[in-house]
Amino acid sequence: MMSHREDRFAQVTPFKIAVSDAQLEDLARRLRDARWPNATLGADWDDGTEPGFLRRLTDYWRTQFDWRAQEARLNELPQFIAEVGGTDIHFVHRRGAGPDAFPLILTHGWPGSFAEMEQIIPLLTDPGAHGADPADAFDLVVPSLPGYGFSARPSRPGVGPHHVAGLWAELMAGLGYHRFGAQGGDWGASVSTWLAFRFPDQVAGLHLNFIPGSFLPPLGEGQPPLSPEELVFRARAAAWADAEGAYAHIQGTKPQTLAFALADSPVGLASWIAEKFRAWSDCGGDVERAFTLDQLLTDISIYWFTNTIGSSMRLYKESRRRPVHFAAGERVLPPLGLALFPQELPMPPRSWVERVFDVTRWTPMPRGGHFAAMEAPVLLAQEIRAFFRPLRRP
């Protein structure tokens, strides 16, 4: 296996998160002095973030949330910075327990971060310590997308999921992995799809817990007509975009305008992100059924301290320029496994996916939503292990 080869970058630098005291003091001041809008009487989640919840969340952020504790815990993960394609990429690289760990690159999305994967990392790298088969161990690489968290912001246009897939291929080769698996949800699904499409000789298998929203197979003349199931899916996806997709439209068209507000106001940033964690998770309307306040604020704080909300939203505009569309005759060659969580955003039927992918595993999951690695890490880890088990050796 390629698991224990030497890193081949000119320089891989160990990394530790180190937010300054001045940043903490600035955040506390901004939270204390926040100016609140005049909320509509009786406003609830139908209007966006519910004011009572946001006040409680930000009060907790200011008076009880311990960033230093979260920082110390995250710093227990082996983190690094490497220059990849001219961009400094932050990543976690944890070797699997045992001699035959299989390389896997695991990619987060928006409004998440590498911290989404914190709970699933030990389940995949050391399954034997968690009641699973030690032979299913992975060498895990968990990068931060460019412009997210502790990765550098792109210095030029064009850094969308298609481009990031090339960076990931270079990252894995630089770490000595020339045959590996890819997994992701949200933007991680788009990047991983392009990675498998562009580099089929390197990607042994592709596992997703989301089909990219921009995914479009070849349609029209010479292609099978849309099935009743596919027509229902397209109508459901359009209805969801109309009711819930305003965020994606503004982030995909005018991200800079929104960035000025969210980069300046931690309350605004918390509102923008927390609303998505509630809307997209299997929480029954109560976000704290799926996530603790500490989990929410760790993710939000990473965006705040790194000032990356603007650069993170840029990915939406770049993706619109090169969406996950396929022409007649194009296929993603590595096998695909899909975990379907019940509270995920609209997901297509299998026939829609099979127009482009070689689907070898299709598993409806018992619970969970869009943030599967946080909401149901044990279930997702079981699926990932099962999918890659027959693909570990050429």
* CA 71 and chain centroid, separation: 20
Whole-prediction pTM value? 0.96
Contact 145, 312 (CB under 8 A): yes
The yes-or-no answer on residue 325 being catalytic is: no
pLDDT per residue as tens digits for the range 264-276: 999 999 999 999 9
The residue annotated as part of the active site, out of 186, 282, 294, 299, is 186
* Options 148, 177, 303, 316, the catalytic residue: 316
d(CA 63, CA 191): 38
Does residue 97 come out as left (phi exceeding 0), alpha (psi in the -120 to 50 range) or beta?
Answer: beta
pLDDT tens for each residue of 286-296: 999 999 999 99
- For residue 216, report the phi and psi dihedrals to the nearest 5 degrees: -140, 115
- Does residue 148 have an active-site annotation? no
Q: What is the pLDDT along the chain (394 residues), one digit of tens a residue?
A: 333 444 566 589 999 999 999 999 999 999 999 999 987 666 789 999 999 999 999 999 999 999 999 999 999 999 999 999 999 999 999 999 978 999 999 999 999 999 999 999 999 999 999 999 999 999 999 999 999 999 999 989 999 999 999 999 999 999 999 999 999 999 999 999 999 999 999 999 999 999 999 999 999 999 999 999 999 999 999 999 999 999 999 999 999 999 999 999 999 999 999 999 999 999 999 999 999 999 999 999 999 999 999 999 999 999 999 999 999 999 999 999 999 999 999 999 999 999 999 999 999 999 999 999 999 999 999 999 999 999 998 8
CA pair distance 12, 215, nearest whole angstrom: 34
Contact, 347 vs 211, CB < 8 A?
A: yes
Query: Could you give the 3-state DSSP secondary structure of residue 4?
Result: coil
* 3-state class (DSSP) for residue 264: helix
Q: Which fold has domain 12-16+79-240+325-391?
A: Rossmann fold (3.40.50)
Q: Known catalytic residue: 370?
A: yes
